[in-house]
Amino acid sequence: MSARRKYQGTTTFNSWDKCKTCKDKDNCNKINKNFTFKIILMDCEGFYYIFKELEKFVHFPTLTGDIEKYEQKLLEYEKKHENIPDLNSQMVVNGTLAVELALKSLLFKENGEFECIHNLEELFGQLPEPHKSILTDKIYKEAHQNAETMASNLSNISNLFEKFRYVFECDIIGYSNFLNNFIHIVCDYAISLKPKDDADNIY
């Protein structure tokens, strides 16, 4: 079985003869690494934004005890969604791609590379410290998980990006609220680390 392909950044400096002996090569590679980290996060932000908009749009009204108010919300929901196709698959695809990029950005930030895979469980397991511990603590608290439930839920959502792209191929498919919580927690954390200094501004 062949080794998995790894993404190691956009730079080819190490293969250029004129760069091999350059005194500024390390700094050049560092600048390129920061640039690539920021680009990955910008891509993540775009898919995350679409996910959040779709999440709000597809959210079904919940019964809070006031039947009349609930019925009114149902009518408003039906009117708002009239002649619009079901968008749950699109929401999941955008959300899982966003969180995949968030995880890959953290791997690239620390290691300068990541495996070209979609498996969220594996990517999370590969996270270096302190990111893995910080995110695990956040997931325990904000998504109401423990080690056992988190491991089970990560396994359940690990391949949803691939499954929901071709949902018609699956006999049965579903997901719990853990997915949405995981997407929000990981994406918000990774995006909070995006460089903001003028020196790192890519525009």
> For 13-38, what is each residue's pLDDT tens digit?
455 566 666 776 666 666 678 888 99
Beta bridge partners of 6: 115
* pTM (2 d.p.): 0.85
Using the predicted structure, report yes or no on whether residue 124 has a pLDDT greater than 90. Answer: yes
CA–CA–CA angle 177, 151, 108 (5° rounding)? 90
Burial class (CB in 10 A: 0-12, 13-18, 19+), 110: middle
> For 57-101, what is each residue's pLDDT tens digit?
999 888 888 888 888 988 998 998 899 998 999 999 999 999 999
Q: CA-CA distance, 167 to 103, in Å (whole number)? A: 24
In the structure encoding, which two tokens stand for residue 191, read together?
């995006």
**Cα separations in angstroms, 47 against 16, 90, 150:** 35, 11, 24
3-state secondary structure of 115: strand
